[in-house]
Structure 1
Amino acid sequence: MQTAIWHIRKMGKFILRFRPYTLEIKHVFTVAAFSRNTTPVVLIELEYDGVVGYGEASMPPYLGESQESVISFLNKIDLSTYSSPFQTEDILQYIDDIQEQHTAAKACIDIALHDLLGKLLGQPYHKVWGLNPALIPPTSFTIGMDTEEIVRQKVSEAQQFKILKVKLGLETDKMMIKTIRSMTDVPLCADVNQGWKNKEQALEMAQWLAEQNVVFLEQPMPKEQIDDMAWLTERSPIPTIADEGCQRYSDIIGLKDVYSGINIKLMKCTGMREAKKMAELAGALDLKVMLGCMTETSCAISAAAQLAPLVDWADLDGALLINNDIYKGMYVHEGRCVLTDLPGIGIIKK
């Protein structure tokens, strides 16, 4: 059991509490660039008038943030000049302006603030936004790179899911797909994590994957190879989705002819406020929208799920990949995300 040592900051009418926590991943998580079996997070509570909102920052190593950097950022915050949490735009703009980057640190405040607001209103946030949870697409379940034996085990554990997400980007790519196809014919989405460097080979793989009922390619090539990505997108038989290549709202316009769509993650874009704006702008530009996640507790996953009715594809399995979730919220039934009617982001502590 991890010790719960809370940092506490009193700021006018607000009280901010936060502590580090380490997520334990059920299976070693392998992508094109690295493997890991834990994810560091910071859990926060934002209190106003006796009502508490929950938030979370998740920091896979490749994002460049850490528990230490998040805690340092949170110690810079001073909300004492704000008299009400309903000054949402002003508060979150202030948070964003404190320091560049630090998007996961900013996201945990955004999530906690939305949870707090929903509780003060007595409504789940998808209802505050006027969204219909029946429109949430089935969530994918991630199959990380592994041996044939472990891949089969992972697939057998994912029988309820109507779509699977497969990590690619190494010399084992075809083995991964063939192994999964030996067990199931459900649609697949392929996440290459920038693993393919040559555009001709990437196109050849895209054509082969299309024959295997792969419905889209997520970040097939390095984000810096913009011309190669545009070339691939123009010729690919399946859509290409920007993940590492799209972080925030300001990135979207420049991606219009480079990818077929974008992957929005709360930890990349500073939280729910900007994620919703990104989904709406992408839709206006006729870009497909995927809603993704890191390995996270049900706190951040349930927060993201509030805007899932707006997207084409959901990949909200992060809490299912860990052993030590301390919240209960959005859950998956027969491959679909089910939102609770609890106010805010819809979670309780276990």
Structure 2
Amino acid sequence: MSTHSDWITKDFGAFKLRFKPYTLEMRYVFTVASFSRTTTPVVLTQLEYDGVVGYGEASMPPYLGESQESVIHFLNKLDLRGFNSPFQTEELLQYIDQVMVNNTAAKAAVDIALHDLIGKLLGQPLYKIWGLDPAMTPPTSYTIGIDTEDVVRKKVMEADQFKILKVKLGLETDKMIIDTIRQCTDRPLCADVNQGWKVKEEALEMSHWLAERGVVFLEQPMPKEQVDDNAWLTAHSPIPTIADEACQRLADVPSLQGVYSGINIKLMKCTGMREAKRMAELAQTLKMKVMIGCMTETSCAISAAAQLGPLADWVDLDGALLIGNDIYDGMKVIDGNCVLSERPGIGIIAQ
């Protein structure tokens, strides 16, 4: 980790905001239907109030259109001098959301730090403040990226503690990958197609083929723009469909009812914990399934998302396990289960 002097510090009186870029190094080349990468840029944040520091993070995979430069530009535009307490949560986060459009990961970096700070000031984990039972969190899936037979087999063998595997699909290798995994294990699978299928009839045929092989849901099977095709597939598929790229923020959720069976909520897409919780509650009201997902992130953002795990039907919170240079100690995965700590806030400490 870079030294403390590398932090950019903004002093707002009651609050101090610090931030700096950091690069996550992947344990494996990470391949999905549209690209491959070996690193992920992030920006780490700290929000200090009355000597107490909350931690946050922005993770920017390439397809979201944010970068370390854009996040730092956004954070430099913030002026928190109009606020004198972190418990002005609604006003603070409304202000941050209207500073610039989009920039959802940058906004999440402040939201997470603010929630961590509030939990520390109250001396309680967020899940307790929200009245949630961590024992209700589903086991996390572990992601197997698109790769050769040998590497897929190796990854499956390394993932033996996980009760469910998430498989990246969307290329001509789909059946090979599933067949290779099925030679190694009969554990349940979920398939993330990352918009890789284009023809609804072929997608339906694949959904039946996958259902027969123990796949329990399809994530973003076709391009988000193909609304009618996705709705048709959802109506006919033997397994649920989950919106990922099609679902970013709270305002998106009502229009997805009937198009998908459920939504994948990610802090980096929706501006953080406040909106993520509202999305989960709205989806439940609409009788839609809830998945809590992640980007490639440190244990900071992963532990933040895990506070919402009890609201989910499925969680995919393996992002910190896919990197080799995590700098926080937080939510642990033990026997495939997300184990939240009793520490206040989001439950992390810097290593």
TM, length-normalised to structure 1: 0.99
* Alignment-derived partner of residue 94 in structure 1: 95
Per-residue Cα deviation, 1:180-201 (whole angstroms, up to 9, x for no partner)? 0000000000000000000000
In the aligned structure 2, how far is the partner of 1:138 from the partner of 1:250? 28
Count matched residues: 350
Per-residue Cα deviation, 1:194-219 (whole angstroms, up to 9, x for no partner)? 00000000000000000001000000
Instruction: Give the counterpart letter for 1:73 in structure 2.
Output: F
What's the secondary structure of 2:28's corresponding residue? strand
In the aligned structure 2, how far is the partner of 1:299 from the partner of 1:309? 18
* Alignment-derived partner of residue 312 in structure 1: 313
* Alignment-derived partner of residue 295 in structure 1: 296
Q: List gaps (5 residues or longer) in structure 2.
A: none
Shift of 1:83: 1.0
In the aligned structure 2, how far is the partner of 1:191 from the partner of 1:307? 21
Instruction: Give the counterpart letter for 1:308 in structure 2.
Output: G
* Alignment-derived partner of residue 211 in structure 1: 212
Instruction: Give the counterpart letter for 1:258 in structure 2.
Output: V
1:290/1:312 contact within 8 Å kept: yes
Q: Which runs of 4+ in 1 moved over 4 A?
A: 1-4
* Alignment-derived partner of residue 130 in structure 1: 131
User: What pairs up with 1:110-125 in 2 under 5 angstroms?
Assistant: 110-125=111-126
* Alignment-derived partner of residue 165 in structure 1: 166
Shift of 1:254: 0.4
* Alignment-derived partner of residue 236 in structure 1: 237
Per-residue Cα deviation, 1:20-79 (whole angstroms, up to 9, x for no partner)? 000000000000000000000000100000000000000000000000000000001111
User: What pairs up with 1:1-350 in 2 under 5 angstroms?
Assistant: 2=2, 5-350=6-351
In the aligned structure 2, how far is the partner of 1:3 from the partner of 1:267? 25
Instruction: Give the counterpart letter for 2:124 in structure 1.
Output: Q
In the aligned structure 2, how far is the partner of 1:10 from the partner of 1:131? 34
In the aligned structure 2, how far is the partner of 1:225 from the partner of 1:212? 26
Shift of 1:2: 4.5
Per-residue Cα deviation, 1:69-103 (whole angstroms, up to 9, x for no partner)? 00000001111111100000000000001011000
1:24/1:324 contact within 8 Å kept: yes
TM, length-normalised to structure 2: 0.99
Shift of 1:3: 5.5
Instruction: Give the counterpart letter for 1:139 in structure 2.
Output: T
In the aligned structure 1, how far is the partner of 2:7 from the partner of 2:334? 34
What's the secondary structure of 2:245's corresponding residue? coil
Instruction: Give the counterpart letter for 1:70 in structure 2.
Output: V
Instruction: Give the counterpart letter for 2:330 in structure 1.
Output: G
Q: Cα RMSD over matched residues?
A: 0.7
1:243/1:263 contact within 8 Å kept: yes
Q: List gaps (5 residues or longer) in structure 1.
A: none
In the aligned structure 2, how far is the partner of 1:156 from the partner of 1:11? 50
What is the identity percentage for the equivalent residue pairs of Structure 1 and Structure 2?
Answer: 74
1:12/1:81 contact within 8 Å kept: no
Instruction: Give the counterpart letter for 1:15 in structure 2.
Output: K
